[in-house]
Structure 1
Amino acid sequence: MKSADATEVLPSPHARSGLWTLWSMMRSEPMLLGGGAVLLLLVLAAVLIPVVMAIDPLSINVTQKLLPPSPEHWLGTDEFGREVFDRLVIGAHLSLRVGFAATALTALVGITLGALSGQYRLADSIIGRFSDALMIFPGFVLAIMILAAIGPSEFNVVLAVVVLYVPRVIRTVRASIIEYRSADFVQAARAVGVGDMRLLVVHILPKSFGPVMVQLTFGFAWAILVEAGLSFLGLGPPPPDPSWGNMISAAREFIRTAPWIMIAPGLMITATVLSLNLIGDGLRDLLDPRLQSQVNP
């Protein structure tokens, strides 16, 4: 009886081997682990620091303006005496919020339209023309046009990023569906009477999960850059809410006398985008079936 109870508590050998295989594959991708660690630290800092520390990014003290970094002012102060560290942390909230929201909406719209485009010819002709029309324009120029037309706000920045990046996700999903649509397992499922929609959702669409995840990771990085660029031009979320882009824009006048005001948000943008690109490269190598066959022959 005791041995039977013990075997019930232990995880199954298949589960243990599956988890070990996943960890071994992730450990073999240092870019994925390194980028994930940096991004996790940035997210935890943005979430926990405002809870642990009493920070106020809008607190003005003109008697302490343009102070260099010191133990009292970790990253110095800006032209209004505001703490650069406080504004940097709160700015991370906005950038990550825009990135997560834009990535989620891009995934929802892109996967839906890409699935329809890959499965139905009529939908493909309509959605394909729509995607081609959006990709004619240079990405950032199109974002400026959208924000100039509908006005600067956080939601409008998210909308602009979705419009910019959703054609790439549509094409990724469409290509995967066309690739697997004539596969043997799909033909077998169709032969036993599986309907088109169930065939698409259950059998074909999961095969595009890997390429879509890689594309969305790069889209997240693109969203961070677009938000920072639009805020730099005054088309992002309006002040006084701090963002990394408008912090750099305001620091242009003090680049010689107080360079720390510009260096801090610039390094944050660089670290965030670099970590996301490392994650994307790592996922691409991890989820590539040819590379998997080399790791697990």
Structure 2
Amino acid sequence: MTSTKDAVTARGEWVRQANRFTERITADGSSAYPVEPGRYRLVVSLACPWAHRSVIVRRLLGLEDVISLGVVDPIRDERGWRFTLDPRGRDPVTGLEFLSEAYLATDPDFDGRFTVPAVIDTTTGKVATNDYPQLTLDLSTQWRRHHRAGAPELYPERLRAEIDEVNAGVFRDVNQGVYRCGFARSQEAYEEAFDALFARLDALSERLRERRYLVGDSITEADIRLFTTLVRFDAVYHGHFKCNRHKLTELPVLWAYARDLFQTPGFGDTVDFDHIKRHYYRTHPGINPNGLVPAGPDLSGWHTEHGREALGGSAFGEGTAP
């Protein structure tokens, strides 16, 4: 049996389950899944930061007519992600009622969480990949022939080593770090994750004080990966996951940086705060047993001036907005 469940160490540290389906979709046909427009369906939750990355990249690269998008209900039940937002509660392309059906069709012994994003091969109804870190990189590199005219370079070869280095720290301490705070089962594990999270946020603030984007002079994969955590920070992670040294709005550099991205096409227009809040506050009964969804925070600040243009750079480099 394939065991891919989340775990908790003896020290009370929460450990995320491994991605089960790590096959790639490649342009040269070297993998089990070749690049083929119209064949694949990207299934996401708009609440999930890991899935949100793929939604942003798909939009920035203009792949909307090449890879279709299925959106699940932000509220899961014991059977996992549901297609209850669609007519008759079924995904109109795959016919699935639950994402779990595709997981179990691919591996009947799968016993972990049914996670998003997941790319479904519509010819078989099976999961091609749920490897979220590689997925967005492959959208940039393997699907290049199908990018829109003017699509930006999100993972330029000359910057990949630096992007990978930045991503590694952001993943460990920020993307993953907020969950390590929220799901810690000991004070020691929580405080260790908390300290690492805010140490990394402080370092990122310094990095971004004199530069508009994390790597280079335009948006890259690194900015996308950081943004999906920052945009959820005050709405969810600050209170729900006890990441409460500061709110994002109390970190001037990161708050301006996040607003800059939010106001860039492809970012803020892919954010659904209703889905985000309802998912987190209603599906973690161990943290929020009453399931109450907070009325705040005030979201109007996301649309205020950020002043980051003065640092130079251009959102899409030599490319154009979607």
TM-score range, shorter chain: under 0.3
Higher strand share: 2
Greater gyration radius = 1
TM-score between both structures, scaled by the size of structure 1 = 0.27
Structure scoring higher RCO (CA < 8 A, sep ≥ 6) equals 1
